[in-house]
Structure 1
Amino acid sequence: VKILPGDERLNYKPCVDITFGSVAKSYGDKVLAVVLTGMGADGREGARLLKQGGSQVWAQDEASCVIYGMPMAIVKANLADAIYSLDDIGRHLAETCI
Structure 2
Amino acid sequence: NNLAGDMKRAVGCALLVASGNIGGMISSHLYRSQDAPDYKFGNAISILCLFIAIALSIILYYLLYGINTLKVMNPERFLKGKNEEEALLLGDNHPSFIYSL
TM-score interval, smaller chain: under 0.3
Q: TM-score, normalised by structure 1?
A: 0.22
Greater helix proportion: 2
Q: TM-score, normalised by structure 2?
A: 0.22
Greater strand proportion: 1
